[in-house]
Structure 1
């Protein structure tokens, strides 16, 4: 059976494949190999960042894959140290050079990093980059609501996407409600949590057994069912394929509600965007 991944529309007229492949903490040379495997498996959405140090490997994989560029959705992100109006524009030029591309489909500010005080100027730079066609769509990652409201009110431009930590133990209900009000697509990073604890939860393992699936597939299917864009990362060939197959798994409304019930307001495992410390 061929796995079909739905696309989620953006308010700017573009759209994004709902299931993508993430490359956080993947070495550059490894990225060239695993991204090629992911594209071969069927992924058409790849998420990288300047801060990951692997844009070159992603670019080499895309070039070698032989899939037309317009059939792929490539995201990269502005590093904190490159925030600012002019520096953000130069940073995307550098990222495009490493990727070997003329444009990215989505450019994100990686962290609001409020203590720097440069996120608004950076957002203005992204607006300009979109006008120039170097970023088809623009968004943010790891922004508290206060900073989201500020960039929107100051520029009138709403991010198409907000990429945030989101998994069954930390479901970000308040942010997701804000996104829904403003037509911002929610994208989950660390969608399976970290350390594997959620993969062993009895609710997850029972649902997996009922569907003859693995726990990771159940969690990815849950993300897809509640409308998140999700970018699981794996360097294991078998897992790359099985994660992609999650798009075939349909959970019942009762199963979705059971997973919804695993939310923990204190379940954050990454840095707090309001005070990330970097």
Structure 2
């Protein structure tokens, strides 16, 4: 599981492990156990968010895992609804207090619009206000790297045009069957690392016959194939699980997908999210 020892270097010079643990839908009272299990397995990159409601539990897991804080990478996200400077400043400090781990390695604006208006109105000025708060916390040493999530090119251009610090990261929905190639290229050209949340599409890809057939060719599981796909794109996948066995399996991706199969996975359309389409990130609205 060599992937757990590999890192990317962000534009600001901060190193981030290539594989992380997502914690969406892990309850606060179960988050500490999940974090400890992941770290025991070898994970050093843990992702949470204000919206997940589990920052306290994630912080407890970090503090009690037995690994030095400086050897871990912890990300959280500013709630999507926060689009003014003062509220953002207060929310950043609240995350620092809930996590109680000294500092945050990476903090993102969770979405360019509030969730109840996702892909709706233009919040360009509100995003600049939130970004200014992140820049201030970054300058103060409270946060080592800053970025965004769910931002499309126009949202990124707004930040890039006005920011003092360019985003280090853009965390987006990316998986085999949903590969936003233009956005990925735009970010890579500007040295913005793309993080891939839901690299298995919240589990819906397990039912894909085409992806299953390719996985069988490599004698790996569908999750392993999908995580490897995201890695070979140069992105940083964040598979979510609280299951220690799945954590180990998800990190066992020391194989290479052929160029032909990468192209096949990249051109698939697998965006039927079923019951999960109720969430804005899967419905697009």
TM-score (norm 1): 0.91
Map of 2:116 onto structure 1: none
Map of 2:260 onto structure 1: 254
Question: More displaced, 24-33 or 83-92?
Answer: 83-92
**Over residues 38-96 of structure 1, what are the superposed CA-to-partner deviations in whole Å (9 max), with x where a residue is unaligned?**
11111100000011000011011111101011110000000123332122121111111
Structure 2 counterparts to residues 49-88 of structure 1, below 5 A: 49-88=49-88
Contact 1:50 1:77 in 2 (8 A): yes
Deviation at 1:203? 3.3
Q: Does 1:228 align with 2:235?
A: yes
- The whole-number CA distance in structure 1 between the counterparts of 2:2 and 2:45 is 17
Q: Does 1:177 align with 2:189?
A: no
**Over residues 230-270 of structure 1, what are the superposed CA-to-partner deviations in whole Å (9 max), with x where a residue is unaligned?**
00001222112111222x23222222222122146x66855
Which secondary structure state, in structure 2, belongs to the residue aligned with residue 82 of structure 1? coil
Structure 2 counterparts to residues 155-170 of structure 1, below 5 A: 155-170=163-178
Question: More displaced, 164-173 or 202-211?
Answer: 202-211
143, 148, 166: which one aligns with 1:140: 148
Question: More displaced, 85-94 or 207-216?
Answer: 207-216
- The whole-number CA distance in structure 2 between the counterparts of 1:147 and 1:258 is 29
Map of 1:93 onto structure 2: 93
Q: Does 1:202 align with 2:209?
A: yes
- The whole-number CA distance in structure 1 between the counterparts of 2:71 and 2:90 is 26
Map of 1:18 onto structure 2: 18
Q: Which runs of 5+ in 1 are unaligned?
A: none
Q: What is the root-mean-square deviation of aligned Cα atoms in Å? A: 2.1
TM-score (norm 2): 0.89
Q: Does 1:217 align with 2:224?
A: yes
Map of 1:238 onto structure 2: 245
- The whole-number CA distance in structure 1 between the counterparts of 2:38 and 2:208 is 27
Map of 1:106 onto structure 2: 106
Deviation at 1:5? 3.8
- The whole-number CA distance in structure 2 between the counterparts of 1:23 and 1:272 is 16
Which secondary structure state, in structure 1, belongs to the residue aligned with residue 201 of structure 2? coil
Deviation at 1:156? 4.2
Which secondary structure state, in structure 1, belongs to the residue aligned with residue 64 of structure 2? helix
- The whole-number CA distance in structure 2 between the counterparts of 1:83 and 1:105 is 22
